[in-house]
């Protein structure tokens, strides 16, 4: 029944747009479907028993399908370990897992309830009793669903968060471009890869991770643009947390971008302090440090590579240094066990790519 399927799905998402709790759109769709039942039967009593049964079966089935849709993105292959960590840091540790468990519990309660009322219907012998069964079922269905409203809302938020983040593959190294806000990270990523990130002269134009691909002798090098980080770990905003997570857990190599011209609006000493902290916290991850905006200012006596996204200066050399840092890279071994819930994508075994790039 493709037509009615479309209607249910649309009904449920329209409710979400209006800001109504997810349960009300699901119940609308469920009751709408239930009321379209046209039963056949020998006698009036048979027909009305069957009508009651169809209402219970159909409203239950529509509801269960909507609950399945809500949990779909989290079932096999599920989130990668990196995504799980991003989600845990954004939404709280264990939050979406608890929501999933509560939804699974609601599903089985609804299934049980539907069977129970169908059994009662078989024994019932009057239209009044049929009506009572339907009303009881609807009432309890509605209250089960309202109980999981916070869980449904959370899972919607989490799935849209994950949908907006890049899906990394473990078959290719990840170059994470990181540094202070406004130093020119996105401009470099745009020059180095297929990504077309937003570039603007103010901090925090990049609010989430973005991936671009490049061919530097690898099939599919992943270049990750990150939001700027100010280095105040205890007061980090969500965008900074995301960038730190990418540096800590996704990077095969970090390209750390320093803006010695300070046109970014942040003093060089603070930029250097962030670099030092990351280097000491992540001793196994190779860092390629570049001083950018070389068209504005080139420090004399600096050992570091000077680059400019504007003029293209130093970019070939940067590509070479990235290649050099990735020379011994090997794809991580497949995860030890397939417990049914782990993904086929990146890092589901919990390893950071950097740990394998020794
Ligand atoms: N002169 C000059 N400006 C640059 C260079 N790279 C970036 N910018 C400018 O610096 C600002 C911030 O760049 P963006 O790439 O968005 O920095 P992000 O916040 O680190 O991603 C923008 O106005 C860019 O045009 C460069 O190499 N030279
Ligand atoms: Mg940016």
CA–centroid distance, residue 182 to ligand 2 (Å): 7
**Looking at the structure, do residues 44 and 184 belong to the same domain, yes or no?**
no
* Residue of 156, 191, 152, 172 lying closest to 310 (CA atoms): 191
CA–centroid distance, residue 234 to ligand 1 (Å): 27
**Looking at the structure, do residues 254 and 279 belong to the same domain, yes or no?**
yes
**Looking at the structure, do residues 186 and 313 belong to the same domain, yes or no?**
yes
pLDDT above 80 (res 3): no
Domain-embedded: residue 168: no
| Position 218 confidence tier, pLDDT thresholds 50, 70, 90 | low
The domain that holds 331 is classified in CATH as 3.40.50.300
Specify the pLDDT at position 131: 96
293 lines ligand 1 (CB under 6 A): yes
Nearest CA to ligand 1 atom 22: 201
pLDDT digits (tens, 9 = 90+) for 224-237: 999 999 988 788 99
Nearest CA to ligand 1 atom 1: 293
> What is the arithmetic mean of pLDDT over 43-69?
94
pLDDT digits (tens, 9 = 90+) for 180-212: 999 999 999 999 988 778 887 877 777 788 888
The percentage of residues in the chain with a pLDDT greater than 70, rounded to a whole number, is: 87
CA–centroid distance, residue 308 to ligand 1 (Å): 9
Alpha-carbon dihedral sign for residues 275, 278, 282, 287: negative
Q: Please tell me the least confidently modeled range out of 53-57, 309-313, 326-330, 349-353.
A: 349-353
pLDDT above 90 (res 90): yes
Looking at the structure of the chain, the number of domains it has is 2
Position with higher pLDDT, 334 vs 131: 131
Specify the pLDDT at position 336: 66
CA–centroid distance, residue 227 to ligand 1 (Å): 13
Q: Tell me which of 95, 129, 163 is where a domain ends.
A: 163
**Looking at the structure, do residues 7 and 151 belong to the same domain, yes or no?**
yes
Determine how many CB atoms are found less than 10 A away from the CB of residue 149.
15
200 lines ligand 1 (CB under 6 A): yes
Asked if residues 124 and 49 have their Cβ atoms less than 8 Å apart, the reply is yes
338 lines ligand 1 (CB under 6 A): no
261 lines ligand 1 (CB under 6 A): no
Position with higher pLDDT, 332 vs 80: 80
186 lines ligand 1 (CB under 6 A): yes
Nearest CA to ligand 1 atom 7: 184
Alpha-carbon dihedral sign for residues 102, 104, 108, 113: positive
CA–centroid distance, residue 306 to ligand 2 (Å): 19
The percentage of residues in the chain with a pLDDT greater than 90, rounded to a whole number, is: 64
**Looking at the structure, do residues 34 and 136 belong to the same domain, yes or no?**
yes
**Looking at the structure, do residues 128 and 194 belong to the same domain, yes or no?**
no
Q: Please tell me the least confidently modeled range out of 2-6, 212-216, 353-357.
A: 353-357
**Looking at the structure, do residues 48 and 116 belong to the same domain, yes or no?**
yes
Domain-embedded: residue 62: yes
**Looking at the structure, do residues 145 and 187 belong to the same domain, yes or no?**
no
* Residue of 274, 264, 261, 253 lying closest to 319 (CA atoms): 253
Q: Which of 309, 311, 315 to mutate to test the pocket of ligand 1 (most atoms within 8 A of CB)?
A: 309
**Looking at the structure, do residues 136 and 49 belong to the same domain, yes or no?**
yes
Domain-embedded: residue 70: yes
pLDDT digits (tens, 9 = 90+) for 295-331: 999 888 888 999 999 999 999 999 999 999 998 898 8
SS3 147: helix
Q: Tell me which of 128, 163, 198 is where a domain ends.
A: 163
Specify the pLDDT at position 94: 94
Could you tell me how far CA 53 lies from the centroid of its own chain?
Answer: 39
> What is the arithmetic mean of pLDDT over 318-345?
73
Domain-embedded: residue 169: no
Nearest CA to ligand 1 atom 13: 184
Domain-embedded: residue 274: yes
> What is the arithmetic mean of pLDDT over 236-260?
96
**Looking at the structure, do residues 107 and 245 belong to the same domain, yes or no?**
no
**Looking at the structure, do residues 217 and 333 belong to the same domain, yes or no?**
yes
Q: Which domain holds residue 218?
A: 174-356
Q: Which two tokens stand for residue 34?
A: 């239930």
Q: What is the mean pLDDT of the chain?
A: 86
Nearest CA to ligand 1 atom 2: 293
Nearest CA to ligand 1 atom 23: 201
**Looking at the structure, do residues 34 and 86 belong to the same domain, yes or no?**
yes
199 lines ligand 1 (CB under 6 A): yes
């Amino acid at each position: 029944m493709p037509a009615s399927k479309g209607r249910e799905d649309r009904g449920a998402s329209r409710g979400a747009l209006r800001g109504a709790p997810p349960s009300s759109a699901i119940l609308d769709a469920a009751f709408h479907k239930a009321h379209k039942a046209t039963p056949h039967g020998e006698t009036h009593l048979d027909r009305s028993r069957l009508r009651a049964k169809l209402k219970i079966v159909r409203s239950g089935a529509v509801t269960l399908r909507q609950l399945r849709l809500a949990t779909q993105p989290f079932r096999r292959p599920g989130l990668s370990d990196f995504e799980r960590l991003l989600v845990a840091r954004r939404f709280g540790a264990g939050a979406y897992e608890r929501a999933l468990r509560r939804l699974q519990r609601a599903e089985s309660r609804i299934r049980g309830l539907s069977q129970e009322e169908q059994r009662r219907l078989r024994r019932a012998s009057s239209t009044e009793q049929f009506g009572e069964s339907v009303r009881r079922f609807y009432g309890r269905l509605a209250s089960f669903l309202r109980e999981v409203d916070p869980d449904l809302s959370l899972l919607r938020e989490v799935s849209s968060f994950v949908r907006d983040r890049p899906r990394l593959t473990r078959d290719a190294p990840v170059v994470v471009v990181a540094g202070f806000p406004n130093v020119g990270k996105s401009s470099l990523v745009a020059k180095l890869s297929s990504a077309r990130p937003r570039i603007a002269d103010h901090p925090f134009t990049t609010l989430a991770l973005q991936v671009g691909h490049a061919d530097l002798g690898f099939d599919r090098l992943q270049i990750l643009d990150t939001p700027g980080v100010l280095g105040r770990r205890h007061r980090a905003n969500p965008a900074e947390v995301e960038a730190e997570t990418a540096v800590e857990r996704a990077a095969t190599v970090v390209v750390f971008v320093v803006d010695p011209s300070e046109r970014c609006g942040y003093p060089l000493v603070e930029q250097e302090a962030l670099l030092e902290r990351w280097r000491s916290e992540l001793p196994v991850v190779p860092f390629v440090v570049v001083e950018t905006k070389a068209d504005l200012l080139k420090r004399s006596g600096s050992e570091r590579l000077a680059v400019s996204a504007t003029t293209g200066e130093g970019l070939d050399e940067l590509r070479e240094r990235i290649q050099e840092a990735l020379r011994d890279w090997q794809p991580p071994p497949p995860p030890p066990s397939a417990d049914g819930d782990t993904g086929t994508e990146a890092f589901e075994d919990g390893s950071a790519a950097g740990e394998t790039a020794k």
